[in-house]
Amino acid sequence: MKLAALAVSWWAFPWWEASSNVNLASQIFIFAIFAASINLLLGYGGLATLGHASYLGIAAYTSGAPRLKLGLGHWVSAPLALLGTTLMAGVFGLIALRATGLAS
């Protein structure tokens, strides 16, 4: 019952709150997911995060630029952000796979 009430309140939040509060809540959720992913990578996996913030930055830029410069909607700019971040991660991955040993 409590879970259903929480789900309904999350669903209804944008309709009974001001847009600035919805924007703030969205940013809180984005950074909470970002922090949880770093916690999984460093805390549980013991792996150093290389370029974690750059992926978030590229996704933010490639979703914001088409919206602001070209006037495209969210349903177009969000897949563009996903595609841009995936391509950048692929390039970084190819570089990382070719690296061997310590550079001096």
Note the pLDDT tens digit of each residue in 29-46.
Answer: 888 988 898 888 888 888
Domains in the chain: boundaries: 18-49, 50-97
The band of 9, judged by pLDDT with boundaries at 50, 70 and 90, is confident
Query: Is pLDDT of 97 > 60?
Result: yes
* Phi and psi based region of residue 71 (left: phi greater than 0; alpha: psi -120 to 50; beta: remaining): left
Query: Is pLDDT of 65 > 80?
Result: yes
Q: pLDDT per residue over 76-94, tens digit each?
A: 988 999 999 999 989 988 8
- Angstrom distances, CA of residue 92 to CA of 9, 24, 53: 40, 31, 13
List alpha helices for 1-104, DSSP H.
Answer: 2-16, 19-38, 52-65, 74-98
Cβ-contact 62, 85 below 8 angstroms: yes
pTM to 2 decimal places: 0.63
The band of 50, judged by pLDDT with boundaries at 50, 70 and 90, is confident
Around Cβ 25, how many Cβ atoms within 10 Å?
Answer: 14
Task: Return the structure tokens found at 96.
Answer: 């990382």
Query: Is pLDDT of 62 > 60?
Result: yes
Task: Return the structure tokens found at 51.
Answer: 């370029």
